[in-house]
Structure formats: structure tokens, C-alpha cells
Amino acid sequence: MKKILLTTTLLLVVPFASAMNAVMYQPQLRDTTVSDAQWQSVLSKLKGQGIDTLVLQWSRYDDAFTGGESRAWLERKAQLTTASGLKLVIGLAADGQFFERQKQPMPALENYLNHLRANDVAVAKRWVEVLGEQAISGWYISSELDDRRWRTPQMQQVAENWMNNTRLSLAAVADKPVAVSSFFAGNMTPDSYRKWITTLNHSGVKVWMQDGAGTQVLTETERALYLQAPSAGKVIELFRQDKQAETFKAQPAPAAYQQKLLSTPVPQGQDRIFFSLRYMSATNGVLAK
């Protein structure tokens, strides 16, 4: 069984480009005070740490970055990123109410997912106009898939169809690898979660699993069981969440811990995405935590 699983995993990973050593960046409106010189300094430091790719978690969040100075600022930073030699994966449209709206009954949910896909395509078209197709290394679907809403076979088929349809729609804009992330909180068994990730892989979309080290919902031993699922990459959480805070609040993981991770080779055939840029030493004094 282990040999069969390994072979299946390799087949799922091989069609994609070589693995990336990336960092994910969540653009915030408060970041628009960052100058070009500051951004270029951050990019230089990232390259010095072996980072080869920047992943935008989103390039539109509700109404943020939809136009005006904020969108121009983000597009300029993207242009500087590709000019620096780093690859760029473009995160598309994020809906701040996604986790509530995904609870809708099936007909409404399917309409909602079609709406999300249309938004993603519209944002992708804009980026091709701004950067050119060659400057874009991939697309990232900003909606994160948890292990609660998508537990049943019916819902997992809906998720697979959604991912596949979005991939095809984005390929019509610019045919690039497409990725999405997933996280677990103990709502599925490790074996059920592994099977679901395998199903998602069939959509042709790369599934990046969040390692859960920052949220600390599960123990390290428990997380290790879930992380055995055959994903295309891991999202390494560089924060530690304050569980006492009423709203999300976190601090960077210890510097020694981060340095150890950064100096560890990327696992063969798997993308590694550090989360997030805001918690890395390269942005000290530039991006507010």
C-alpha cells in the first residue's frame, strides 16, 4: 500500500514545474506607505535567504486594491518583484465572508462558487494586462479549504469541480499552474483528510497544506498525521497565535526557529511556502506585524 501511495503521489506532483521556495505576502491597505526603495530592500534580503518566489495571498480583498492608488501601489510592487528576479504567483480575489458564505445550501453555494470564479478571472485578466503573461509564474486561489465544510463525498465533489472549472477558466486567460491551500483542525480523521487531498489533486490544482504550527489547534504529533497527505506543497507558518486574544493576534516565531527552517533544503518535488512575509526578519521596520 505504501508503494502504491508513493507512486500516486509522484504522478500527481511531476506534471508541475520545479518546486519553489516561496514566501506568501498578505497585502494590507496599511502597507501602501512602503516605498519602492523599502520594497526593493526587502526583496534583496529575501533573495539572500534563498527565497525564489513571492506569492500574493490576494490582489483584491473585498473592495481593497480594486482601483485607485492602492491598486497602483500593489501593481508597482509586483513589477519590482519580477524585475528583481523573483518569480511571482498572483493571488486573485478574496472574499472576507467566504467562511460564512460557504455554509449556504447547495444551489446557492454553487452559484456563489461561480461568482468567485468570475471574480478570479477578472482579476487575472487585469494582471496579464499589467505584467504580461511571461512575468506571471502561477495563480493562487485565495479561498482556503478547511476540513469541516468539505467533509462529505458530495461536498468534496463540489470542491473538485470548483477547482477544476477555475483552473480551466484561468488557463484561458494565461495557462499557468494554479494552487489553493487547505488547512485541518481535527474535523476529519487523518485518513479521511488524506483521501480528500488526493481527490482535490485530481482537479489539476496544486494543493498546499498549511502546517498548523502557528495556529496550534493540534499537537505536533497530531499535525504530523495530517501532514502525511499527498499535497503538492506545505505552507510553513512563521507566526504563533495568541490564543487568549478575542480577534486574531500573533507574533513572529522565534528567530532561531525561522533561521533553521530557511536553511533547510526544500523537500524534493514539493513547494515550500513560508507564511508570511510580515513575520520574517526581512520586513522588520517595513511591514507592521
pLDDT tens by residue, 118-177: 999 999 999 999 999 999 999 999 999 999 999 999 999 999 999 999 999 999 999 999
SS3 199: helix
pTM of the full structure: 0.93
pLDDT-derived band at 6, boundaries 50, 70, 90: very low
Running DSSP on this structure, what letter comes out for residue 76?
H
Region 183-208: mean pLDDT is 97
H/E element, 115: helix 106-131
pLDDT tens by residue, 206-258: 999 999 999 999 999 999 999 999 999 999 999 999 888 888 889 999 999 99
pLDDT at 248: 84
Count Cα atoms within 13 angstroms, Cβ side, for 55.
Answer: 25
Count Cα atoms within 13 angstroms, Cβ side, for 197.
Answer: 35
Count Cα atoms within 13 angstroms, Cβ side, for 271.
Answer: 32
SS3 148: coil
List phi, psi (to 5°) of 23. Answer: -130, 140
Domains of the chain: 20-283 (3.20.20.80)
**What is the full DSSP assignment across 32-73?**
GG--HHHHHHHHHHHHHTT--EEEES-SEETTBTSSHHHHHH
216 Rama class: left (phi>0) / alpha (psi -120 to 50) / beta: left
Count Cα atoms within 13 angstroms, Cβ side, for 144.
Answer: 17
Output the nine-digit C-alpha cell for 194: 488524506
SS3 3: helix
Spatial contact of 182 and 194, defined as CB atoms under 8 Å apart? no
Give the whole-angstrom CA distance, residue 142 versus residue 253: 24
Whole-angstrom CA distances from 178 to 53, 75, 166, 207, 267 are 14, 20, 9, 9, 20
168 CB burial (10 A radius; 0-12, 13-18, 19+): middle
Give the whole-angstrom CA distance, residue 104 versus residue 284: 41
pLDDT tens by residue, 47-98: 999 999 999 999 999 999 999 999 999 999 999 999 999 999 999 999 999 9
Q: Which residues contact 128 (CB under 8 A, 6 or more apart)?
A: 136, 173, 174
